[in-house]
Structure 1
Amino acid sequence: MNEKVSALLNDQINKEFYSAYLYLDLSNYYSSIGLDGFANWYDVQAQEEMSHAKMMYKYLHDNGVRPEFAAIAKPDKEINDIKDPVRIGLEHEKYVTSLIHNIYAAAAEANDYLTMEFMHYFVKEQGEEEKNANDLVNKMELYGSDPRSLYLLDQELAARVFVAPTIA
């Protein structure tokens, strides 16, 4: 495997675990103010990010690269109101999309077609992640200041369940 590509994938494992930490932090905030549905939504999001890290970990191993783990940074986002976490989530998903695109571009430059195929899943996944995060921001902007609507949105988010991702 190309050294630059494997280094980017290895770094992305750490970024995925950081994403899980960030989403657990957002879940923690919502739990602390009694919005358990929002907390659930971000808890499921954290589980997804951990599964993405594991997928990349396995991919590196399957291709003869031993991943090296780095320290996971503490989330440092400041939350001042109930709308901040959803905005933070969208901003973070856009950042992750840029990282995924960088890995894909490096694989393309190296003519690493196997990694390009592997990363195709994550390119598509990031499109869905950004849409979901953007939809949540829009819903909070529309309903977040109305207690009854916020209650209904919280109930909707409580229904989300984790489904382990697979690459077909």
Structure 2
Amino acid sequence: MNTKRLSDAMEKALSDQMNVELFQSHIYLSYGIWADDQSYGGIANFLFRHSKEERDHAIKFMQFILNRGGKPNITALQAADRDPSSLTECFDLVFKHEVENTEKIYNLVNMAFEEKDWATWNFLQWFVKEQIEEETLAIKLIDKLKIAGGDQATDESLYNLDKDLGSSPDDAELARNATSENP
């Protein structure tokens, strides 16, 4: 008996989005490494925590596919195009990636609606809400940097921004607290 409750097209689309979320995690990790290399430890930790959050999103997609009788397909991740040249570019790229991800989520919602796959449509509503939060967070990053003076910010302003982002609350564990037993 076939117990799969997803169309083949939906199963593939959800697997593709799972891989997009893994790529987003990869991007945040890459930008975090860049920030750390630039001596922005707080910003790096902020980006590392968001890398974990994006990975958790991928796991949500994986689990949903499995729960609906499908089999997720993991693909190879591409590398980040390049390191940002400045904090402004870094935060602008974060926003750009979040907007692109929102569009992908909306496409999945439309697909679920067209297929009358209400279980998937309902599942995706969490991601619609999450993307509103993610875009808002990215806009706030850009705004905070502008308030600090953008790329012409003083060392003191950048120090305070770095400190602020490093200590901002987040659901994800701090990257520096990870161990092999508790990744």
Q: Percent identity?
A: 29
Partner of 1:151: 159
Deviation sequence 1:118-144 (CA, Å, 0-9, x none) = 000000000000000011011112213
Partner of 1:129: 134
> What RMSD, in angstroms, separates the aligned Cα atoms of the two structures?
1.2
The structure with the largest alpha-carbon Rg is 2
8 Å contact from structure 1 (residues 77, 88) kept in 2: no
Q: Which consecutive aligned stretches of 4+ in structure 1 deviate over 6 angstroms post-superposition?
A: none
Partner of 1:7: 12
Partner of 2:44: 39
Partner of 1:85: 90
Instruction: State the number of aligned residues.
Output: 164
Deviation sequence 1:35-72 (CA, Å, 0-9, x none) = 11110110011000000000100000000001111111
Unpaired segments ≥5 residues, structure 1: none
- Give the alignment partner of residue 60 of structure 1, picking from 56, 65, 74: 65
What amino acid maps onto 1:53 in structure 2? A
What amino acid maps onto 2:154 in structure 1? D
Q: Distance in 2 between matches of 1:15 and 1:73?
A: 10
- Normalization by structure 2: what TM-score? 0.86
Residue 68 of structure 1 aligns to a residue in which SS? coil
Q: Distance in 1 between matches of 2:68 and 2:87?
A: 43
Deviation sequence 1:67-102 (CA, Å, 0-9, x none) = 111111111044212221111100000000000000
